[in-house]
Amino acid sequence: MSGKEYRTITDVKGPLVFLNKTDPVAYGEIVSLRLSDGSIKNGQVLDTSDDMVVVQVFEGTAGIDRKTGIQFMGDVFKLPVSKDLIGRILTGAGKPRDGGPEIIGEFNADIIGAAINPYSRESPEVFIQTGISAIDCCTTLVRGQKLPIFSASGLPHNDIALQIARQAKLIDSDEQFIVVFCAMGITAEEYNYFRHDLERTGALENAVLFVNLADDPAVERLITPRLALTTAEFLAFEHDYHVLVIYTDMTNYCDSLRQIGAAREEVPGRRGYPGYMYTDLAMLYERAGIVKGKKGSITQFPILTMPGDDITHPIPDLSGYITEGQIVISRELHQKGIYPPINILPSLSRLMNAGIGDGKTREDHKSVSDQLYAAYAQGRELRGLVAIVGEDALNERDLQLLKFSDIFEDTYLRQDRDEDRSITQTLDMAWDILTNIDTKYLVRLDQKWIDKYHPTDKK
């Protein structure tokens, strides 16, 4: 559209360009900037009035000067969507990165995405077996859920995400997941690790990758997850696919958000992040789910690294307030050499109750998982006490709990990177390790399940 080119830049600040004397420009409109060396950058309108237009430039403002020509493209950011996206690798701005042809879309989809009408949602309740006991038993994942991995630098979150991507399945169907992978500011090494694993297992053919690496423009990261989610919505709701969206690292995304906020001189919220970060993250995370009348679904696995291992940092904190639980990776367990080092205590799946029980996993699941939690929590607490007063001061019950917490970590949490446990194995193993505690102390277990499943005390 519109060919008119303006050269009316007044200010350039951080990733923002300010210009005046334009015809009316739409809020959110896409902008093309032509630099004096002929190169092109892209941006989007953040504020527009009769006197002043503010443009955020995705590729950064290096090289922009007053002579830079600015064209408004007449429309908001759209992504051409097509089934041909499957198997492709694209940049963080949606351009081919694999040497393949440009994507010709069935149509162009607005990447901001409209909110799903809450009335039109369907409750996620189909159990996804990941083959990882800590997740399947204690923080059960269901189709259509958004369940982030809260990790920290140097921990094996990528391995866990990949293991989930490889092993995720429904128990009574062989429907496959399509993986939409979205990299934001990760290193080339990390990216290659993901790509090779997806290649090795053949999953790449059934995946779409959007890649913004550490040395790619930071502001572009604000677009990348929206492209990924727009693709996911298209595949799920136009073509009935079950889509698993993995995006990493949300922390880099949030830092880009902070950068824009600072350049606009907004009043910062906690630790300098913008006050609207909750809403902004919700606009991503809420694009998970199942809707009436559509066969597909979107399940999200955002990965974020907690700065300073601090779960109260605004990034994990605001994420936790939006997502339907979290899987927390623990440095302590990792240092003990346990993989996957998932600390089940702060981990949670809020949709678990809908996805487990008779006809879904097994009737005793809830009871068993509650009991594991309670026993492990108490056992861990006792470790602190023992460090001070020694084991002698413990009574019989406490001794058993203490021992249990070690067994739990060593045999239940610990599994191989390619060990794929069925839900029955996972639950049976839980009963096995619970025999280390006298049944009379297992108050979270319903008597009827003890009668039926307890390896030694069943009737």
Partner 1 sequence: MSDKGSIYRISGPVVTVTGIDAKMYDVVRVGDEGLMGEVIELHGEKAVIQVYEDTSGIRPGESVINTGDTLSVVLGPGLLTQIYDGIQRPLKVLEEKMGVFITRGVDADGIDMEKIWEFKPVVAVGDEVSSGQVIGTVQETETIEHRVMVPLGKGGVVKEIKGGEFNVTEIICTLEDGSELAMLQRWPVRSPRPYIQKYAPDTPLVTGQRILDFLFPLAKGGTAGIPGPFGSGKTVIQQQLAKWSDAQIVVYIGCGERGNEMTEVLTEFPKLIDPNSGKPLMNRTVMIANTSNMPVAAREASVYTGVTIAEYYRDMGYDVALMADSTSRWAEAMREISSRLEEMPGEEGYPAYLSSRLAEFYERAGRVETLSGADGSISIIGAVSPPGGDISEPVSQGTLRIVKVFWGLDAGLARQRHFPAIAWLSSYSLYPATLDQWYRDNVATDFPEVRTKISSLLQVESELQEIVQLVGSDALPIDQQLTLEVARMIREYFLQQNAFHDVDTYSNLDLQYKMAAAILSFQENAKLAIDAGAMLEDVVNVPARTDLLRGRFEEGYGERIDELVANMNKQIADAAGAEN
- Touching partner 1, residues 19-58 (CB under 8 A): 24-29, 46-50
345 is an interface residue for partner 1 by CB under 8 A? yes
Does residue 249 have a cis bond before it (omega within 30 degrees)? yes
CA distance 255 to 217: 12
446 is an interface residue for partner 1 by CB under 8 A? yes
In the complex, least distance from residue 348 CB atom to ligand ATP, rounded to whole angstroms = 6
CA distance 76 to 31: 9
In the complex, least distance from residue 344 CB atom to ligand ATP, rounded to whole angstroms = 13
In the complex, least distance from residue 176 CB atom to partner 1, rounded to whole angstroms = 24
Q: Total residues at the site for ligand ATP (CB under 6 A)?
A: 3
- Choose between 193 and 278: whose C-beta lies nearer to partner 1: 278
Identify residues 149-178 at the interface with partner 1 (CB under 8 A).
none
- Choosing from 117, 202, 359, 418, the residue that interacts with partner 1 (CB under 8 A) is 117
116 binds, among partner 1, ligand ATP, none (CB under 5 to 8 A by kind): partner 1
- Choose between 101 and 390: whose C-beta lies nearer to partner 1: 390
185 binds, among partner 1, ligand ATP, none (CB under 5 to 8 A by kind): none
CA distances from 208 to 39, 149, 392 (A): 28, 20, 58
- Choose between 207 and 236: whose C-beta lies nearer to partner 1: 236
266 is an interface residue for partner 1 by CB under 8 A? yes
CA distance 372 to 344: 10
199 binds, among partner 1, ligand ATP, none (CB under 5 to 8 A by kind): none
In the complex, least distance from residue 21 CB atom to ligand ATP, rounded to whole angstroms = 47
Q: Which residue has the closest beta carbon to ligand ATP?
A: 350
395 is an interface residue for partner 1 by CB under 8 A? yes
- 280 Rama sector, left if φ>0, alpha if ψ -120 to 50, beta otherwise: alpha
- Choose between 365 and 421: whose C-beta lies nearer to partner 1: 365
124 binds, among partner 1, ligand ATP, none (CB under 5 to 8 A by kind): partner 1
Q: How many Å from the N-terminal Cα to the C-terminal Cα in the chain?
A: 77
Cβ atoms < 10 Å from Cβ of 447: 10
Region binding partner 1 by CB under 8 A among candidate stretches 1-9, 150-158, 220-228, 393-401: 393-401
75 is an interface residue for partner 1 by CB under 8 A? yes
- Choose between 147 and 183: whose C-beta lies nearer to ligand ATP: 147
440 is an interface residue for partner 1 by CB under 8 A? yes
The residue written with tokens 């992504």 in the block is 79
Identify residues 312-351 at the interface with ligand ATP (CB under 6 A).
321, 348, 350
118 binds, among ligand ATP, partner 1, none (CB under 5 to 8 A by kind): partner 1
CA distance 153 to 309: 8
C-alpha dihedral (77, 82, 83, 89), degrees to nearest 10: -50
Query: Using the 8-state DSSP alphabet, how is residue 368 labeled?
Result: H
In the complex, least distance from residue 120 CB atom to partner 1, rounded to whole angstroms = 4
- Choose between 112 and 348: whose C-beta lies nearer to ligand ATP: 348
Q: Are strands 149-151 and 297-305 parallel, antiparallel or unpaired?
A: parallel
CA distance 181 to 246: 5
Q: Answer whether 320's CB lies under 8 Å from 400's CB.
A: no
CA distance 142 to 124: 6
1 is an interface residue for partner 1 by CB under 8 A? no
Helix (H/G/I), strand (E/B), else coil: 18: strand
CA distances from 188 to 161, 183, 315, 374, 446 (A): 17, 10, 23, 41, 51
CA distances from 325 to 66, 84, 352 (A): 48, 33, 9
Facing residues of 289 across strands?
A: 298
Q: Which residues here bind ligand ATP, judged by CB under 6 A?
A: 321, 348, 350
